[in-house]
Amino acid sequence: GENVEQHPSTLSVQEGDSAVIKCTYSDSASNYFPWYKQELGKRPQLIIDIRSNVGEKKDQRIAVTLNKTAKHFSLHITETQPEDSAVYFCAASNDYKLSFGAGTTVTVRA
């Protein structure tokens, strides 16, 4: 089955700096790569996703890149703000199952 590894497990950044989270996956059949944000005590919510036919996607301060050859994808958050503090999960999906990484706890220091 699919194995998704996510690094780092914790990330502390100064407000205004950038944050980068990296994930690797094992199943070459995976074709959809979403990122979810989970605030403390809340449910996960989708923040951005990318499909296998696209190399990069951007939405305001958030961008995701995908390298299918190397089987890795990354989340980039620029100009971090206190409200970006949360746990972020990457995931990979084939047409049946969705597998998540272990999560990255991001803390934005004021």
Rule CB under 8 A: choose which of 35, 74, 77, 103 binds another protein.
Answer: 103
Distances from the Cα of 12 to the Cαs of 28, 59, 93, 94, 96, in angstroms?
A: 32, 22, 28, 32, 35
Residue 73 contacts residue 50 (beta carbons within 8 Å): yes
Instruction: Tell which phi-psi region holds residue 71, choosing left (phi > 0), alpha (psi between -120 and 50) or beta.
Output: left
User: Is 98 a binder of another protein (CB under 8 A)?
Assistant: yes
User: Is 1 a binder of another protein (CB under 8 A)?
Assistant: yes
* Options 11-19, 27-35, 54-62, 78-86: segment touching another protein (CB under 8 A): 27-35
- Identify which of residues 34 and 86 has a Cβ nearer to another protein in the complex: 34
One-letter amino acid of 100: F
Rule CB under 8 A: choose which of 46, 54, 59, 109 binds another protein.
Answer: 46
Task: Please list every residue from 3 through 22 that binds another protein, using CB under 8 A.
Answer: 6, 9
Query: Cα 89 to chain center, whole Å?
Result: 5
Question: At closest approach, how far in Å is the CB of 15 from another protein?
Answer: 26
